[in-house]
Amino acid sequence: MQFFCLELFPFLVLLGVSLSFLVCIGESVIELPENDTIPAVFVFGDSIVDTGNNNNLKTIFKVNYPPYGQDFLGGKPTGRFSNGKVPSDLIAEELGIKPLLPAYLDPSLQAQDLITGVNFASGGNGYDPLTSDLASVLSLSDQLEMFKEYIIKLKGIVGEERTSQILRKSLVTVVTGSNDVTNTYFGSPLRKSIYDISSYADLMVSSGSRFVQDLYGLGLRRIGVFGLPPLGCLPSQRTLKGGVTRKCVDSYNQMCQLFNKKLSNELTLINGILPEARMIYLDIYNLPLDVIHNPKNYGFGISNIGCCGTGTIEVAFLCKCTCSNVSEYVFWDSFHLTEKAYRLLVHQILEQYMKDFICEKPFC
């Protein structure tokens, strides 16, 4: 893949290592320091990043049918929970690795695809194992087992030494937790009757901590963990809990902020314990909140409903028809963003945090 770029924001870091963020026509590329590479991308998590792993599962949490994918290549529904590409694709694209990040369970997956990374995410997943059980989807434990299987396959293709190098240098993202809050905690009595908000956030963080340390134990080092977005401002939650005027739900957003703080602190602790760890907390709360409150500042017109159906509650199989002007919408359905909104978010994340993955301690 070729990129035509305009160089922006060149800067020097300590010891004279030169970095540049490159903004390209249609896509962006991060230029790494000399002798450094990001050979592959691996993604774990939920529907925000799932690229089709749920397609053959017996679950309602799958979208391999129209109108999902209407703006994807050829208008094809692939199991991505949006009108087009999702963050996992866009991260791989912006890094110049490949235009799409295939699902590990895609039956058409080729051996060559494994070398540059694959996606293990499953829509409906959560940090809480109960969340995945209720949705009949792949838990984080399931995704970890799939990754172990992947490593064996990769060793068979490129050998043990190169496999180790690929794992150490690759960029990993973990994107989950939204379903824990909206479905398992606030959406059912199964956890709320046992845990208060703070202790349930602790349960989520504890699960996430074990998961990223397990990934480290398997050879991964550069691990970015997304925080929670402002879930109280999702169209579905505004409809269900926001009253007649469909306001953002403060209790949901406060829980998200509490979890994010706990998660950030936990990752800092892990980085202090594991000598080679680059475990980075990625904030996806503040920018989406500003986009929702001030959509016109970002090139959008509508941010309180989705493009699908009435935009107030429809998601997955409830999504039967769509708006005629999807580029005006922040949300595709009542839970997920449009490709346009995801592009904005992914670009900002890479621009803000990429240096934290590639600079050497103690100079970060």
- The catalytic site residues sit at 47, 333, 336
Q: How far apart are CA 64 and CA 50, in angstroms?
A: 11
DSSP designation for 119: B
Task: Assess contact for 242 and 235: CB atoms under 8 A.
Answer: no
Q: How far apart are CA 2 and CA 93, in angstroms?
A: 11
Return the structure tokens found at 228. 């929670």
Residue 77's contacts (CB-CB under 8 Å, 6 or more residues apart) are 63, 64, 65, 66, 67, 68, 69, 70
Return the structure tokens found at 8. 């922006």
The SS3 of residue 147 is helix
**Residues 215, 106, 318, 313: is their CA dihedral positive or negative?**
positive
* Spatial CA neighbour of 357 closest among 221, 213, 215: 221
Farthest CA pair distance, the chain: 60
